[in-house]
């Protein structure tokens, strides 16, 4: 299946057949997720493939008992983290040094620019300062308008993780299985199941399985492209 066939074939499946998904299929799709473009290459994601029967049962409940979760052969929780950037930055810098002669621009980017946007200071005070200073500078020249708060940072990281989700779903589709992304879940309960704290945001839970034809709710429905696509 080529990329366009995978994009056209992928549907959100709400009911699966009782058929296992081979481990190799899951592993290949998780690898594809890791290749998604991501903000500053800081890879702020974590993918929890829930294979423990006990955790899976609790996750189905946390996904509000949606049929797509209850009938899925596999469930993966896609998480965005606001706290792993320091570790990942160090690892990236190590690799850049191992590769030899990293450009000053690259080093400056990770050492100076990245912390500027990933830290908000005690009680968000630095973030508040940035929210005051950047718009003033912005009168005179283009400036980044955020993220200057934890919430905005979470939003930014969710963009990255959503791209990993799409890579994952297309990779599953290309291998003859189906998925359904879910945001209908109790985030607090999902986090509790995975032992995650406030630095984690659940971007999506994705169900995986062999499609039951009854699991597709009608023909694909998209509105007129003229409403959404503009050439300006
Ligand atoms: C972020 C996100 C969250 C979603 N959450 C749910 C969900 O909780 N339950 C569900 O059945 N479908 C969910 N969907 C699937 C959408 O309803 C589906 O993508 C949309 O209706 C278009 O259908 P298609 O995916 O078959 O093209 C979600 C999709 C996205 C992108």
Going by pLDDT thresholds of 50, 70 and 90, the confidence category of residue 146 is confident
Q: Could you tell me the distance, in angstroms and rounded to a whole number, from the CA of residue 206 to the centre of ligand 1?
A: 10
CA distances from 174 to 1, 125, 131, 179, 220 (A): 6, 47, 44, 11, 18
Give the residue among 62, 47, 61, 12 at the shortest CA–CA distance from 185: 62
Residue 74's CB is within 10 A of a number of other CB atoms, namely 22
> Of all protein residues, whose CA lies closest to atom 30 belonging to ligand 1?
181
Q: CB under 6 Å to ligand 1: residues?
A: 11-12, 14, 66, 68, 180-184, 204, 220
Domains of the chain: 3-82+158-227 (3.40.109.10), 85-150 (no CATH)
For residue 120, pLDDT over 90 is answered with no
Q: How far is CA 16 from the centre of its chain?
A: 23
pLDDT band at 20; cut points 50, 70, 90:
very high
Does residue 122 carry a pLDDT above 90? no
pLDDT at 215: 97
The pick from 182, 190, 207, 213 for probing ligand 1's pocket by mutation, whose C-beta has the most ligand atoms within 8 angstroms, reads 182
Span 185-220, pLDDT tens digits: 999 999 999 999 999 999 999 999 999 999 999 999
Q: What is the pLDDT of residue 29?
A: 98
Please give the number of the atom of ligand 1 that sits closest to the Cα of 68. Answer: 11
Candidate from 44-48, 107-111, 146-150, 188-192 with smallest mean pLDDT: 146-150
Residue with tokens 């450009």: 103
Supply the pLDDT for residue 124: 82
CA distance 127 to 123: 9
Q: Can you tell me the distance from the alpha carbon of 132 to that of 121, in angstroms, rounded to the nearest whole number?
A: 14
Contact 168, 33 (CB under 8 A): yes
Average pLDDT, the chain: 96
Pairing mode of beta strands 45-50, 74-81: antiparallel
- Residues linked to residue 181 through DSSP beta bridges, in sequence order: 206
Q: Give the Cα separation of 181 and 78 in Å (integer).
A: 10
Short-list 124, 113, 40, 49, CA closest to 79: 49
Strands lying side by side in the sheet with 178-182? 45-50, 74-81, 200-209, 178-182
Report percent pLDDT > 70 for the chain.
Answer: 100
pTM, to two decimals: 0.96
The pLDDT assigned to 226 comes to 98
């Amino acid at each position: 299946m080529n990329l366009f066939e995978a994009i056209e074939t992928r549907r959100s499946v709400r009911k699966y057949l009782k058929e296992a998904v081979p481990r190799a299929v899951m592993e290949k799709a998780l690898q594809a997720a890791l290749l998604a473009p991501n903000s500053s290459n800081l890879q702020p994601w974590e993918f929890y493939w829930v294979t423990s029967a006990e955790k899976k049962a609790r996750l189905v409940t946390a996904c509000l008992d949606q049929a797509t979760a209850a009938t899925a052969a596999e469930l993966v929780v896609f998480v965005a983290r606001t706290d792993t950037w320091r570790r990942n930055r160090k690892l990236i810098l190590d690799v850049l040094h191992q590769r030899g002669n990293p450009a000053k621009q690259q080093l400056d980017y990770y050492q100076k620019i990245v912390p500027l946007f990933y830290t908000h200071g005690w009680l968000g005070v630095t973030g508040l300062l940035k929210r005051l200073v950047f718009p003033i500078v912005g009168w005179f020249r283009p400036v980044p308008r955020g993220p200057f708060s934890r919430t905005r940072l979470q939003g930014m990281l969710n963009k990255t993780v959503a791209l990993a989700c799409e890579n994952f779903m297309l990779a599953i589709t290309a291998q003859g299985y189906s998925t359904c992304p879910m945001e209908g879940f109790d985030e607090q309960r999902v986090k509790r199941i995975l032992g995650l704290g406030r630095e984690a945001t659940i971007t999506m839970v994705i169900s995986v399985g062999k499609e039951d034809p009854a699991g597709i709710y009608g023909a694909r429905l998209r509105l007129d492209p003229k409403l959404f696509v503009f050439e300006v």
